[in-house]
Amino acid sequence: VKEPISPADGDRGRTISEVARVADVSPATVSRVLNGDPRVGADYRARVTAAVEQLGYRPNRLARNLRKQRSAAIGVVISDIENPHFSEAVRAIEDLAFKRGHPVLVCNTDETPEKERAYLEMMMDERVLGVILSPATPDDPVIGEVLDSGIPIVAFDREVADPRADAVLADNIRGARMATERLIAGGHRDVAYVGGRREVETGAERLDGYEIAMRRADLEPRSIDGGFRTQVARAAVLELLRSPTPPSALVVANNLMTLGTLEALREAGVRVPKDVALVAIDDPPWASLVAPALTTIGQPVRRMATDAMELLLERAAGRDQSRRVVHPMELHARDSDRKASR
């Protein structure tokens, strides 16, 4: 075969064999030194290190990947990187991955089973080291296939059905309950809930938390479906406000719906917190900038992301028992929930 496969760039040292020749050792020894094999003698090690230095050699990762049948990359499969919740998570994941030399592949599913499946198949094709997954479809069979293929999965934010996956979660029930109880404690009795998809763990749990708080206070739960999306929430809240008995307070279940809710309140000329008080779940950067500043219940996203990376790397390193970490949510008390004025 005489085709010029490698474009023969003279600048960077090219193969492990060249290094071996310069160091006057075998390629195997070079590989061992590069991978920190402790058995290599000090003299050999020194010769190899010098040759690597001299040639400016960098290992060919593509060759390494093929040999090991594994890439060093980590897949992050989320619904949407534009959602500040996920931007923050990806950022924290990437910081850790970078320190350890792992590239990060970002995948947006838009909560659709089709894209989720396609991306998980891409992760299998790329034979990534592991996947951090905030699942749209927690029981999709492709998740089992990924695990079968030897790729560990850490569920982030939402559990997956397969027990072999690790999970890093927030205590959504208690979070939503805290939000609701805070409004009740402020004197509100008609607290409505702007929620989302029941099928998704997070949505179901937050609704549960809200309902528990209401029932314990002998109040009637009243929830509307904002679909976890800005525009759906906007329409739903607009309709809620038109009802004969509009609520005096709202718990909104995520930051996208909070955006929609704020738009709806503004359009309807309803003032916060005077006409309607509000506690939002999620704590995006703009929460303190809108007027009034929003009281929120947020997940400790950075710590959760750090945990997820650690679990993933442990798993890739061989741990076989799956683990599950639950973080408490955090209250950010600001101005949108002030007491009912009665």
Partner DNA sequence: CTGAAAGCGCTTACAG
Q: Which residues form the interface with a second copy (CB under 8 A)? A: 5-7, 9, 11-12, 58-63, 65-67, 69, 71, 73, 80-82, 84, 87-88, 90-91, 94-95, 98, 101, 103-108, 115, 118-119, 121-122, 124-127, 145, 148-150, 259, 262-263, 284-286, 288-291
Q: Is there binding between residue 255 and DNA (CB under 7 A)?
A: no
The reply on whether position 281 binds DNA by CB under 7 A is no
In the numeric block, which tokens belong to residue 319? 């741990």
14 vs 189, beta carbon nearer DNA: 14
Minimum Å distance from CB 185 to a second copy?
Answer: 27
Query: Choosing among DNA, a second copy, none, which partner's interface includes residue 286 (Cβ < 5 to 8 Å by kind)?
Result: a second copy
**Which token pair is 340?**
């009912």
Residue 125 has which token pair? 């094709």
Of 49 and 288, the one with the shorter C-beta distance to a second copy is 288
Q: Which residues pair with 170 in a beta bridge?
A: 327
* Closest separation in Å from C-beta 276 to a second copy: 16
Give the H/E segment covering residue 231.
helix 230-241
Does residue 63 bind DNA (CB under 7 A)?
yes
Does 14 engage in binding with DNA (CB under 7 A)? Answer: yes
**22-41 binders of DNA (CB under 7 A):** 25-32, 34-35, 39-41
Sign (positive or negative) of CA dihedral 264, 268, 272, 276 = negative
> Which CB, 5 or 291, lies closer to DNA?
5
| Interface residue with DNA, options 68, 100, 215, 303 (CB under 7 A) | 68
Phi, psi (5° rounding) for residue 339?
-50, 150
Residue 71 touches DNA, criterion: CB under 7 A = no
Q: Judged by CB, which is closer to a second copy: 7, or 269?
A: 7
The smaller minimum CB distance to DNA, of residues 20 and 249, is found at 20
Q: How far apart are CA 199 and CA 202, in angstroms?
A: 9
The count of residues interacting with DNA (CB under 7 A) is 33
Q: Would you state the structure tokens that stand for residue 189, as one six-digit string?
A: 């009795």
What six digits make up the tokens of 46? Answer: 């020194």
Residue 44: name the closest of 28, 57, 63 by CA: 28
Find the largest Cα–Cα distance for the chain. Answer: 88
Rounded to whole angstroms, the Cα distance separating 111 from 108 reads 8
Structure tokens at 256: 């996208």
Q: How far apart are CA 278 and CA 122, in angstroms?
A: 41
Minimum Å distance from CB 318 to DNA?
13
The CB-of-73 to DNA minimum distance in angstroms stands at 15
Q: Report the SS3 class of residue 330.
A: strand
Q: Where are the beta strands (DSSP E) in 143-208?
A: 153-156, 166-170, 191-195
Question: What 3-state class would DSSP assign to 247?
Answer: coil
**Tokens 């085709």 belong to residue:** 3
Rg of the chain taking only CA atoms, in angstroms: 26
Least separation in angstroms between residue 147's CB and DNA is 19
- Residue whose structure tokens are 């929830």: 223
Q: Between 34 and 212, whose beta carbon lies closer to DNA?
A: 34
Residue 115 interacts with, from DNA, a second copy, none (CB under 5-8 Å by kind): a second copy
Using the rule CB under 7 A, give the single segment among 20-28, 173-181, 185-193, 257-265 that binds DNA.
20-28
* Residue 16 makes contact with DNA by CB under 7 A: yes
Interface residues toward DNA, by CB under 7 A: 1-3, 5-6, 14-17, 25-32, 34-35, 39-41, 43-44, 59-60, 62-64, 66-69
